[in-house]
Copies of this chain bind each other. A is one copy, B any other.
Amino acid sequence: MKDQPSPIRETDDDARKLARVLLRSARHAAIAVLDSETGFPFASRVLVATDIDGTPVILVSKLSAHTRALAKDSRASLLTGEPGKGDPLAHPRLTTQCLAEPVERSHAFYDRIRTRFLARHPKANLYVDFPDFLFFRLKPELGSLNGGFGRAYQLEGNDLIIQSAANEEIAACAAETVRDLVERHPDVAQTLAIRLNAPKSASWRICGIDPSGFDLISGDFLLRYEFECLAEEADHICSNISKTAYSIP
């Protein structure tokens, strides 16, 4: 008997880009964890955002089964990528295997993570400060991309992380950067949405920037745009965004 041929294709930059977009454009995900009492694999739904380095972030209740599970065993995976119209398996999706790290209120990253999460999920303002809610950073270890029938790729955790010395500096001035950009170009988010063929909606806004790209949001729609090259400073992000919106080099 012959061995089955490997169904895994060689990972290329297109696969890496697709995987990053699937992870960074998810408003929610299915999370798989190990049940804290039985070790059973347990799938549930969580809201997702990203930290400045692209690491996925979740905000969960300490009373929930997935939080109890992560407190006992930090291994988790996230399934992102929506099925859309037609055959659910024809649409690309990504499984990201992660190690979960709680981000307590005293943590150096806490304010940054809270700010970025709320920019994407403003309704979470209602409960983010409740004492029984907690953030986790889910550090990617491995990715399994299924780009549709017969298009499977394996990724390394580092393929999904933004490796940039500028991360912290950009995070520190992100709100100001976006505010200045919108002051100069009040139509920038709407123009980006049209240029990127986003669904028609009146209220697009930029809800996150990082060295690798930006996130646009309008109601239930979230759109991720990845730059050709990592930005090295906030000005570089602004010029990348302007170029995308107005083709200004």
Residue numbers in B under 8 Å from A186 (CB-CB): none
From 60 to 114 in chain A, residues with beta carbon under 8 angstroms from any chain B beta carbon are: 61-65, 75-79, 83, 85-89, 93, 95, 97
A-B contact pairs, 5 of them (CB 8 A): A7-B64, A35-B97, A41-B42, A45-B146, A47-B89
The reply to whether the CB of A191 lies closer than 8 angstroms to some CB of chain B is no
The reply to whether the CB of A15 lies closer than 8 angstroms to some CB of chain B is no
Identical copies in the complex: 2
Residue numbers in B under 8 Å from A85 (CB-CB): 220
Residue numbers in B under 8 Å from A86 (CB-CB): 220
- Give the distance in Å from the alpha carbon of A97 to the alpha carbon of B45 in the complex: 15
Residue numbers in B under 8 Å from A162 (CB-CB): none
Residue contact A123 to B87, C-beta cutoff 8 Å:
yes
Residue contact A75 to B132, C-beta cutoff 8 Å:
no
Residue contact B32 to A42, C-beta cutoff 8 Å:
yes
- Give the distance in Å from the alpha carbon of A220 to the alpha carbon of B86 in the complex: 6
Interface residue tally on A, bucketed by range: 35 or more
Residues of A bordering B, CB below 8 Å: 4, 7, 27-28, 30-35, 40-45, 47, 61-65, 75-79, 83, 85-89, 93, 95, 97, 123, 132, 144, 146, 220
Cβ distance A55 to chain B, nearest Cβ, rounded Å: 17
Residue numbers in B under 8 Å from A63 (CB-CB): 4, 7
- Give the distance in Å from the alpha carbon of A87 to the alpha carbon of B137 in the complex: 21
Residue numbers in B under 8 Å from A220 (CB-CB): 85-86
Residue numbers in B under 8 Å from A93 (CB-CB): 44-45
Q: Looking at A43, A47, A78, A93, which has the most chain B CB atoms within 10 Å of its CB? A: A43
Q: Looking at A35, A42, A79, which has the most chain B CB atoms within 10 Å of its CB? A: A42
- Give the distance in Å from the alpha carbon of A123 to the alpha carbon of B90 in the complex: 11
Contacts known (A34-B41, A63-B4, A78-B43); A28 close to B95, Cβ less than 8 A: no
- Give the distance in Å from the alpha carbon of A235 to the alpha carbon of B61 in the complex: 48
- Give the distance in Å from the alpha carbon of A41 to the alpha carbon of B31 in the complex: 9
Residue contact A27 to B88, C-beta cutoff 8 Å:
yes
